[in-house]
Amino acid sequence: MNLVADAFAWLTSSEQWTGDGALHLLMLQHLGWTILSVFVASVIALPAGWAIGHTGRGREIAVAISGAARAVPSFGLLILLVLLFGVLHKPEAAVVTFVILAIPALLAGAYSGIEAIDRATIDAARAVGMSEWQIFLRVELPLGLPLLVGGVRSAALQVVATVTIAAYVNLGGLGLPIITGLALRRYDMILGGAILVALLALAVDAILGLAQRRALPRGLRTESPTTTRGDRTPAAASTS
């Protein structure tokens, strides 16, 4: 309990929220790396996932690539890319690392969202004369959006957690107090930084979870049953 109290005392100390290394600035850096990485991964993964889901071809290759990407140790990959790119290109190495981490969830969300649609719905769209682009834009994309947002949600959470290692190559973020605390044996600083990362991940998950629920087409949302005056049964009406 003393460690927890010390961590919260460190978090609430005014000196942690001032200067170049202020916690809110580190949080903005953390979010910046996350948003940039997920955006770049989306540009790569979403078109490929949509093409796989629409055509039904290449799914096995996508699964294999996703599995291989998930098996890559992110910290080892970051160090390897820093060595390959050079110390002057640490930001590029970090972004590539986080993009590789985000691609599997985005790819799976894109193609599984389309695959989950009832084929009868797709056949009906073709029967009324829709082109393949119209089917994708008007049918597959809206109906597959909830699973797609779920993939974005999963990718964002993974990247938020992994961006912590960016501090190892002096790129800031909320991993900085954790790395610094390890070097100084300041366990209150380590726990405080970990708490901030967890809170940020929970906030991102809550926002994207709400977006995922809102992404469900209105006609498919299950409304909670409500009893109106017109819905009352004859027995209920007779007792009133």
pLDDT digits (tens, 9 = 90+) for 26-82: 999 999 999 999 999 999 999 999 999 888 888 888 888 878 877 888 888 999 999
pLDDT surpassing 80 at residue 104: yes
pLDDT at 238: 42
pLDDT at 67: 80
Q: What's at 20, amino acid-wise?
A: D
Specify the range with the lowest mean pLDDT, choosing from 66-75, 78-87, 100-109, 131-140: 66-75
pLDDT at 180: 92
pLDDT at 202: 96
Alpha-carbon distance 92 to 171, whole Å?
Answer: 11
Burial class of residue 140 (count of CB atoms within 10 Å of its CB; 0-12, 13-18, 19+)? buried
Specify the range with the lowest mean pLDDT, choosing from 13-22, 57-66, 122-131, 225-234: 225-234
pLDDT surpassing 50 at residue 206: yes
Domains and CATH numbers, the chain: 2-239 (1.10.3720.10)
What percent of the chain is modeled with pLDDT above 70? Answer: 90
pLDDT at 57: 86
Contact 155, 147 (CB under 8 A): no
pLDDT surpassing 70 at residue 220: no
pLDDT surpassing 80 at residue 224: no
pTM of the model as a whole: 0.84
